[in-house]
Amino acid sequence: MDFFQVNLPTDFLPLINSLDGISIDGKVKVSLAIGLFVEKQVTLAKAAELSGKTVGEFIDLLRLKKISWMEYTEEHLDDDERAIRELLRDSSNE
């Protein structure tokens, strides 16, 4: 894996140190992955990979931070309504 270095002002250090995790690198990786996921720049799976966590572990982190990891779109709602109508129609034909 290739790496690059970032220089941050020392003002960040107390904030980073207050995050959960062992190493500064790990804390920054998780924070960046969460930010990229929240901004819809990466998928859940990619964010988990970038953070060095499994998808389940990453979901648990999001839950702890009260960040929704599922998106319920209008398309999902339409699909659910269609399925309910079909179920109701099928049950009335029995």
Does the pLDDT at position 94 exceed 80? no
Taking the CA atoms of residue 68, residue 69, residue 73 and residue 79 in that order, the dihedral angle to the nearest 10 degrees is -120
Task: For residue 20, name the pLDDT band (cuts at 50, 70, 90).
Answer: confident
pTM of the entire predicted model: 0.73
Rounded distance between C-alpha atoms, residue 85 and residue 32, angstroms = 42
Task: For residue 53, name the pLDDT band (cuts at 50, 70, 90).
Answer: very high
Identify the H or E element spanning 70. Answer: none
Task: For residue 35, name the pLDDT band (cuts at 50, 70, 90).
Answer: very high
Does the pLDDT at position 15 exceed 70? yes
Rounded distance between C-alpha atoms, residue 62 and residue 72, angstroms = 16
- Tell me, what's the pLDDT at 37? 94
DSSP secondary structure letter of residue 23:
S
**Is 12:6 a contact under the CB 8 Å cutoff?**
no
- Tell me, what's the pLDDT at 60? 94
Amino acid in the structure at residue 61: L
